[in-house]
Amino acid sequence: MSKKALLILLALMLALSVFGCSQTEETTATEEETAAATDEPVVIEAPEATPFETMSPNYADKLGITILYEQDDAMINNYSLLAVNEDAPFEDLDGNAVADVEINTVGAKALIDWMLGDEATELIGNYGFEQYGEYLFYNKEDRPVSTAEIPQATDETKTIRLSTTTSVNDSGLMSYLLPVFEDEYGYDVEVLSAGTGKAIAAAKMGNADLILVHSKTQEEPFVEAGFSKVLDGYDSERLTFMYNYFVLVGPKDDPAQCAEASDVKDAFKRIADGKYPFVSRGDLSGTHTKEVSLWPEELGITTDADSVADYTEWYLYSNAGMGVCLTMANEMDAYILSDKATFLTFRANGGIDG
């Protein structure tokens, strides 16, 4: 070690004596570089904080947005559980069949059995009342009911990958339910939270054992393509078990007078007729799928961004999560469709005044 150090020292001295002047240049260069590097993380991380900083001063002068239209049968938001079929026609990106995709069917069935059993049903039925003064989810009367015995987790079945929509996760339902299941049976549920479209895409790529989603129009092709299977003791791939409502949210002064609409389609027509700003999720989520079905048909609005190219002055195709969209709507005094659970959670957390 000392020999090496001596060698390096010698080399340094030699370098110094031969290139005396260049040494000083070098030092200044490195000093500058270090100063830049030390500042670097600060520069990079600053944007994390700016969206909030820039918008908070406006908060006080904003009226805020509120629920204008709700509890209509057309606004029912059904949630379904679907187990992923381990023998599904999985394909890689080039369209070649992939046979050895590992799916934890035993774990998926255990979680589904539990979700449809008495314990979870009671928990779901009570969720949110204490915190928000309202129930956030309701159990469906005709839901499939399970009395199956749930096996304890083994090393192979321990990890369950649940791909779910942002609404059930952001509303806190999953972190309220799952620890009970995990403690009791020893499983480890990994929750991936994304819009319904992305949740289904993840399952098609073999990255989920079961999905919890809320868009019938997207679930049906998934089932028809063979990606889901009927579990023992059930009679359908799609196990629709709970629901809540979509709500039309908008500025408190309600310029489109949606609150007086005869039905939800009329409310949407009023927004379109008056070209009042409307924030669309634009991310193929269940909420997005629902929203496009509520516009007057002659507008031709679909989940495809091209279909709204003529309406860009009032229709904002945002491609973002529910929370981000609610923030946008709040800032722009725009209308927006939201599931009620996310809206109430968002408001309770201080995301929206009033």
Partner 1 sequence: MGGAFQKAFDLLFSGDGQLWNIVSVTMQMTLTSSVVALLLGVPLGVFYATARFPGRKALIVLNRTLMGVPPVVCGLLCYMLFSGVGPLRQLKLLFTVPGMIVAQVILLTPIAAGNMETYLSGIVGEIQETARGLRLSRGRGFLLTLNESKYALVSTYLFGYGRAMAEVGAVSMVGGAIAYKTNVMTTAIMMYTNMGDFTLGLALGILLLCISLLVNITAHLLQGRRT
- Which residues are near partner 1 by CB under 8 A? 4, 7-8, 10-12, 14-15, 18-19, 22, 26, 29-30, 33-34, 36-38, 40-42, 44-45, 48-49, 51-53, 56, 90-93, 98, 100-103, 161, 166, 170, 172, 175, 190-193, 205-207, 321-324, 326-327, 345-352
Nearer to partner 1, 209 or 237 (CB): 209
Helix (DSSP H) and strand (DSSP E) numbers for the chain: 13, 10
Nearer to partner 1, 84 or 264 (CB): 84
Which residue stretches of 127-263 are H helix? 129-132, 166-170, 173-185, 196-204, 216-224
Nearer to partner 1, 137 or 346 (CB): 346
Distance (Å, rounded) from C-alpha 288 to C-alpha 76?
A: 14
Nearer to partner 1, 188 or 266 (CB): 188
Nearer to partner 1, 100 or 149 (CB): 100
Taking Cα atoms as reference points, which of 215, 209, 222, 224 lies closest to residue 77?
215
The DSSP letter of residue 97 is B
3-class SS of residue 66: strand
Nearer to partner 1, 98 or 309 (CB): 98
Pairing of strands 335-339, 239-251: antiparallel
Q: Please state the closest distance from residue 190 (CB atom) to partner 1, in A.
A: 5
Q: Please state the closest distance from residue 319 (CB atom) to partner 1, in A.
A: 13
Q: Are 178 and 228 a contacting pair, CB within 8 Å?
A: no
Residues paired with 352 in a beta bridge: none
Taking Cα atoms as reference points, which of 137, 239, 127, 113 lies closest to residue 177?
127
Q: Please state the closest distance from residue 98 (CB atom) to partner 1, in A.
A: 5
Which residue stretches of 171-318 are H helix? 173-185, 196-204, 216-224, 264-274, 286-292
Q: Please state the closest distance from residue 30 (CB atom) to partner 1, in A.
A: 4
Q: Please state the closest distance from residue 55 (CB atom) to partner 1, in A.
A: 9
Q: Please state the closest distance from residue 7 (CB atom) to partner 1, in A.
A: 7
